[in-house]
Amino acid sequence: MFRTIKLAAVFFTLFGGSAFAAVPIINNSSSTATAITIRGSNLSGGSATVTLGSYAPLAVTSQTATQLVAALPAGVPAGSYTLGVQIGSSKTNSTSSVATIGAVGPTGPAGPTGAQGPVGATGATGATGPQGANGAPGPQGPVGAQGVKGDIGPVGPQGAVGPQGTTGATGATGPQGPTGPAGGPAVRLYDAHGTLIGTVFGGGSITYGSLLALAPLNGERLALPVVQSNRDSNGNIAGPELNLAHSGIVYFATSDCSGTPYVNEGFLSPGTTKPFAILQSGTQYVVYLADTSAQVQINAGSYLVSGSYQSDPFGGGMVATPASCYTTSQQVYGVAVNSAPIYPNWVYPFSIQ
């Protein structure tokens, strides 16, 4: 029967400073008549050299990190032998123990405690531990002395406008003002038969049609432009005759000026109560008077152009031109005239009295 008595040996090397080598460690060993088995750690990492007493190095037949198996020489007498193990070529990377071959004798007395080995090199710094819990708040310190007064800062930006306040109560009615001076006599427009057309108002020039006559017609008031119509071949005024200028444009959805007329442009002069257009057709005047003021958009296919009745600056006498229909293709806004055109039977020339 074979058993080992373990001797722990630790080697270290110095290479310009202290460093630990992975030295082999023998935990125990056992043997048969032909082989010895060594158990421990760090038994790999290089070629293993196994010695037994003064015998030549043993032939290693098996090597792992925890076990070596080596062949024993023939005829090894029973007894205790120094068992050496070296891993690799460095003799500092070795260890030894005592292997007993043959019968196991009684346990010997414990040997004396060996001397303490030198202090090893400082190990690497460990990982930072978790942060500890926050400590309790300390007591509040005393109030410090008041600092010196700082400079006045710049003016900040203007704030947003606040919401509008509620409407205040209506104030009391003021006293009635004094009576104004009496107005002068009204100026009126008459046709050639003395028929009253309407009251003249406006302070513009009659030469360019900025004088208006407010004429009542079918329960409405129409602001009619008044112009001087008797002109010579150079366009200069040749006589006192007055006429009514056309106002507004009349569109139709058809291409021949038939169907519902639509009044557009210039029909809401001051004082007018409903949209209208007035055209001249020869010696007659035609008024298109709308029923409402609501505009609609139409695809216009034709429109009427006013005729005239005026003196002939070249041949003398009067020349009557009827209203004319022209085709178009455009979108326009207008107010529908659902009633028949009005022919008021006013007779040229007109006068102001």
Give the chain's domains with CATH numbers.
3-101 (2.60.40), 188-352 (no CATH)
Supply the pLDDT for residue 60: 93
Q: What value does the mean pLDDT take over residues 270-294?
A: 85
What is the reported pLDDT for 7?
A: 42
Do 267 and 277 meet the contact criterion of CB atoms below 8 Å apart? Answer: yes
Q: How many CB atoms lie within 10 A of CB 289?
A: 24
Higher pLDDT, 303 or 17: 303
Give the pLDDT confidence score for residue 240 in this predicted structure.
57
Whether 278 has a pLDDT exceeding 60, the answer reads yes
Residue 16 pLDDT: 34
Whole-number average pLDDT of the chain: 82
> Which residue, 7, 12, 49, is CA-closest to 25?
7
Q: 2 falls in which pLDDT band (50, 70, 90)? A: very low
Q: What is the pLDDT of residue 13?
A: 35
Whether the pLDDT of residue 211 is over 90: the answer is: no
Alpha carbon distance 94, 86 (integer Å): 4
Whether the per-residue pLDDT at 135 is higher than 80: the answer is yes
**What's the pTM value of the predicted model, to 2 decimals?**
0.45
CA distances from 174 to 171, 177, 178 (A): 9, 9, 12
Q: Classify 139 as helix, strand or coil.
A: coil
Question: Residue 345 CB: number of other CB atoms within 10 A?
Answer: 10
| Residue that wins the pLDDT comparison between 174 and 63 | 63
Map residue 207 onto helix, strand or coil. Answer: helix
Q: Which residues contact 118 (CB under 8 A, 6 or more apart)?
A: 12
At residue 36's C-alpha, the angle toward residues 51 and 73, to 5°, is: 65
Q: Answer left, alpha or beta for residue 192, where phi above 0 means left and psi between -120 and 50 means alpha.
A: alpha
pLDDT at 101 exceeding the cut of 60: yes
Span 1-11, average pLDDT: 43
Q: What are the residues whose beta carbons fall under 8 Å from the beta carbon of 327, sequence distance 6 or more?
A: 255, 301, 302
Question: Which residue, 137, 186, 123, 150, is CA-closest to 353?
Answer: 186
- The model's pLDDT over 48-62, given as tens digits with 9 standing for 90+, comes to 999 998 998 999 999
CB atoms < 10 A from the CB of 6, how many? Answer: 15
Q: Phi-psi bin for 34: left (phi > 0), alpha (psi -120 to 50), beta?
A: alpha
pLDDT for position 207: 47
pLDDT at 265: 66
